[in-house]
Chains A and B, each alone.
Chain A
Amino acid sequence: MRLVQRQSPSPLHYVAAFLGSLATVILIVFALTGDLAVTARALATVDAGYLFRVFVVIGVVSLSGVVSYRAGLWNIGQEGQAIVGALAAISADNAAEAVMSAALAAAGWTLIPAALRVAPGVNEAVTTFLMSLAAVSAARYFVEGPLKDPAKKGFIATVEAPYMEPALAAVLLAGVLAGVVLLYRTRVGLTMRLLSSGEEVVRYAGKPPKLYIAATLGLSGILAGIGGAVEIMTRDAGRYMTLQQVSTGFGLYGISAAWLGGLHPLGATAASLYIAWLYQVAVNLKVAGLPALVANALVGTAMAWGLAGYVMYKYKVVWR
């Protein structure tokens, strides 16, 4: 068996990957519950408001993945960038200021791996991942220190982030989506995509590759940071961070949606809705008494299917 590159990539394989993921989820849920009625309830029970909120957050973070991976850059630190964005949002006075602060803070945070990639050539997959671990520690410092809410007696938590209406969050997602789609129609967007073919091609196009690497990673970080800010600001209650609840997991979910969506902005957004539904299913299972980590398992299978879809999109299997 070997993989042969397709002459014309086939988008239908993403549909196949989606169906494969769906079938896997149904099987897992049935295996966990062992009951058809409970399975059906877990799959069909939906809190529309909650689903929508999760969809918006994952949607924004997935676009961070699209921007990075389509340029051939491996930013896998969306989780850390989202944490930094959330911290910046907590320190802001209103939603607009929070989004701006989150974007700036996440950009600064991502510029560290970007600089390490551009100057000494350190692989960004390693540094963005390590920066996620650093983000957790940094967040705990802020929770206990500068952002600690003194009013919460005997409970270590930050002050609350400003509230963002879900409708406003949806507008933000639409804006980010439109921005990324439009970006890819510009020469800057084309040059970012050229990066996936190597720095030499970018230089041949007459553009500075290092600048584009830094800008692309920076933009990817900004989007993940905004995703983190939206996540904390759209909560109905508890818009704060505690020592135990720093990381939300939406970084991983966004990456999964990006791959399952074929690294296309619209595909990733559509896949975000599916991942959000998976999250809802996981919550339903948790309510039914199953472990909370089921959510990660379900999203993990979706990510595996997404990667399989990407491989099948580009290659065909030859059985000989």
Chain B
Amino acid sequence: MEPLLSAVGIRKVFPGVVALDGVSFDVRRGEVHGLLGENGAGKSTLIAILYGVYMPDGGEIYINGRRTLIKSPRHAAGLGISVISQHFALVDTLTVEENLKLSGIDVETAVKIGRELGVEIPLDKYVGELAVGEKQRVEIVKALARKSEILLMDEPTALLSPREVKALLSIVRRLAEMGKAVVFVTHKIKEAVEAADRITVLRRGRRVNTYERPFDEGVLLEAMFQGVVQRRVSKSSSIGDVIYRAEDLSGERVRRATVEVRRGELVAVLGVAGNGQEELMALLSGFKKPRGGRLIINGEDVTGRPFSEFLRRGVAYLPEDRGRALAKELSVLDNFKIRCIQGCMEKLAKAKEVLDIDFPSPSTRAAALSGGNQQKLLLARELWLVKPYVLVASYPTRGLDVDTAERFYALAKSAVKGGAVVSMEDVEEAVERADRIYVISRGEIAASFTPPFDVDEIAEAMTT
């Protein structure tokens, strides 16, 4: 079958970086084509080129066999191309129906498409009240209502709960059955294998290969990382006394949460997104003052003390929103200096080497770094440099490729002197990494688990 969209020899160069180097890729009608690669592989750049955000420096794009110059996102939309990403073009303060009207979409058509897709459109609900998965489904329906034939899905599962991921993957398959050409960008091998008909692997701006069903996960992993990554299942061998304890901690959404961390322990807080994890992490780190309850570090009550006091006691906090922790308008060096006192240039150079952070110079603005590199910079500063006593991290591996996630866990093990409490949404990751798991649901600690873990039991606790 002739490809609906075909990109041939695409090249894109940013100052100091070859983002794409002669990448060829095509997607057919009725096909889901997975685009797999680690952070910085060039997936998002390729999507941006196919959607007219960037002009390629080389190569050609064909739609229905005709050479096409995609000049802008508007032009791409006119050509029947839509993007579904982690960022939604929806107004939170309007209802779904109002949002559809705002986008010039006939509401009845949208409802009909939703029905065909097996998706209910909650017309009367305000977008701000919707779960991430629901917002995404509205975006998909919007794209179909605009008669898009090519759907570019850029890391669509990044913010979804396990249940929502399953639902999305079945929608993706349904889209292909409807004759749409779907490009599914991900760094998660399992998702690509489940959803795609073909998978193209990118690595450092180059196409490694395109694979057809049946897929071999080992081959895909090898293609993504050239065999440099080995997943390590690392459990702490010796668990010590309780060094950090939160008793009946309450906030705006969190209610009477009790969490404890023992020396040498990695504790996971697991839950479906939007159940109060982010606030719990902010409360545990001392970044936010609790409405009730107590926080005890090494037997001393530190409840309500300023965040600086928590920092002084060796608490490091990695928030979900990196904008809280990085001054994106300032340079990489200035950001590093937030915690570094002396010899910062040398230490930054060393951190760059150890954590493989990609930035052209210390004076580069933090905003110019990719998301993965911003996260690495944060890890370098808060873990590698500070070597905290207690680490409180909110989704530290979200959006990271396997390699960077491995680096995080290795660093958490080697640099954290006391213990760590980390919020996660992937049950398998928690089971693999944690010494103890707390499940949070509707702001409350619904259950806690110690090894040996039962995945089904934990997953059930997450959804109660």
Contact = CB atoms under 8 A, between A and B. Distances in A.
Interface string A1-42: 000011111000000000000000000000000000000000
Contacts of A198: 323
Contact of A205 (B71, B312, B338): B338
A120 interface: no
Contacts of A196: 327, 329-330
Contacts of B328: 197
B324 interface: yes
**Which of A190, A193, A197 counts the most chain B CB atoms within 10 A?**
A197
B330 A194 contact: yes
Contact of B15 (A5, A7, A197): A7
B308 interface: yes
Interface string A306-320: 000000000000001
A188 interface: no
Contact of B364 (A7, A190, A194, A204): A7
Given A198-B323, A203-B287, A206-B307, A8 B329 contact: no
Nearest to A203: B307
B289 to A, nearest CB: 11
A190 B337 contact: yes
A207 B308 contact: yes
B133 to A, nearest CB: 28
B85 interface: no
A320 to B, nearest CB: 5
B338 A190 contact: yes
A142 B326 CA distance: 48
| B-side interface size class | 20 to 34
| A-side interface size class | 20 to 34
Nearest to B15: A7
**Which of A196, A204, A207, A208 counts the most chain B CB atoms within 10 A?**
A204
B365 A190 contact: no
Nearest to B319: A204
Nearest to A7: B368
Given A196-B329, A204-B287, A320 B71 contact: yes
A5 to B, nearest CB: 7
Contacts of B15: 7-8
B403 to A, nearest CB: 23
B360 interface: yes
Nearest to A200: B324
Contact of B325 (A9, A190, A204, A207): A204
A122 interface: no
Contacts of B363: 8
Interface string A114-154: 00000000000000000000000000000000000000000
Nearest to B364: A8
| Smallest CB-CB A-B distances: 5 pairs | A197-B327, A206-B308, A7-B368, A206-B311, A200-B324
Given A187-B341, A197-B327, A206-B312, 5 more contacts: A7-B15, A8-B363, A190-B334, A200-B324, A320-B71
Interface of A: 5-9, 187, 190, 193-194, 196-198, 200-201, 203-208, 320
